[in-house]
Amino acid sequence: MTDTQRADHGAAGAGPGLQPGAQPHPTFRDLYGREAECGGVAPGRVNLIGEHTDYNGGFVLPTVIPQRTTVELAVRDDRVVRAWSANIHEPPAEYHLGSEARRGAWIDYVQAVTWVLPEAGHALCGADIRISSSVPLGGGLSSSAALEMALLRAFRAAFGLQIDDVPLAKLGQRAENEFVGAPCGIMDQMACSLAEDRVALFLDTRTLAFDRVPLPPGVDLVVINSGVSHRVAGGDYATRRRECEEAAHMLGAPQLRDVPAASLEQRIESLPDTLRRRVRHVVTEDQRVVDAVEAMRARDVARLGELFYASHASMRDDYQVSIPEIDLLVDLARKDPRVHGARLTGGGFGGSIVALVRAATGRDVGERVAREYHARSGRTATVLVPPALGA
């Protein structure tokens, strides 16, 4: 992943999903009559385990997926920003620096970034921007964070900004929380900024200390998008977040991270049923992240797989963020002897599952699960990882 990638008008420029015979997407030169000067790239992420723990000060274990968001950029000598996205079939959107205002559209992510950088003391001038992405929108795989981080990297390169990867991730989260209005935690931006292929980022979201933990040999990851769109800006995510804050307050803890796992049932017995469930999920999920890291280090794939299933059950029954389509995907995966474990990944209410499978069987497992899913639900699932040959 490079920061100052020259604009590339090849396969990435054509964008994913372009139908044979369809018009190729316009290049940077087509759009703006000149070449891009620099750019930024950031991957989507898949969280292996540790869901809804980040805004509770807990642990997460994400890694990256091969799908990426690419931003090409050329600086302007005025204060106009023009941005175009290959994923949206519209002419470039335009605004003036300093007049950013939320429109409830994709351009808000660009506005959020040009709003947050000056807020943090980094002077900018205008820019022409071209965005293309193969990270699916609404797949629970951080298309938003990938876009924020690719944009931030492009601006960092264009204006020579002295911002390291961790503060850059924090700026991405601030842009999303305060400008876009999605109350996400820090996991996605940290993963898109720092994680690597086949290496998970074991992150303490309170201190932002992290360790890199390689996937054990002999296993592959499979990521399957259910085709049901996930949205963090939707009300359910914010409701969960509020419930956690309320429960922590009732338990006299600064955050749920601070609630000990020992004698948990006794500690939470006075809470209303819903809050009891939320606490149970968060506290046990934090422990599962620690256990998963231990299992990965010990190359104990069976144990890691069990933790995936336990995490899924907890998200489904206690945190109540799964949906029948996602449960179906997990159940279909579980029936395959090549699968060690599977779970809902990301915020939930749609999105994707991640499965841990025997090495070199990923594509086959994924396609079988997707076929049965279609037969049972009528919906089309997409196997995103491993990518199809030639994709």
Interacting residues with ligand GLA (CB under 6 A): 47, 51-52, 54-55, 184-185, 187-188, 232, 346-347
SS3 168: helix
Give the integer Cα–Cα distance in Å for 44 and 76: 29
CB burial of 216-244 (b: ≥16 within 10 Å; e: otherwise) equals beebbbbbbbbbbebbbeeeebeebbebb
Say if residues 25 and 86 touch (Cβ distance below 8 Å): yes
CB of 162 to ligand GLA, least distance (A): 26
Which C-beta is closer to ligand GLA: that of 149 or that of 184? 184
CB of 296 to ligand GLA, least distance (A): 19
CB of 347 to ligand GLA, least distance (A): 3
Which C-beta is closer to ligand GLA: that of 43 or that of 346? 346
Q: What is the DSSP letter of 390?
A: T
SS3 179: helix
Which C-beta is closer to ligand GLA: that of 185 or that of 341? 185
Give the integer Cα–Cα distance in Å for 185 and 176: 10
Residues identified as active-site: 188
CB of 123 to ligand GLA, least distance (A): 29
Which C-beta is closer to ligand GLA: that of 158 or that of 321? 321
CB of 207 to ligand GLA, least distance (A): 16
Q: DSSP letter string over 304-356?
A: HHHHHHHHHHHHHHTS----HHHHHHHHHHHTSTTEEEEEEESS-SS-EEEEE
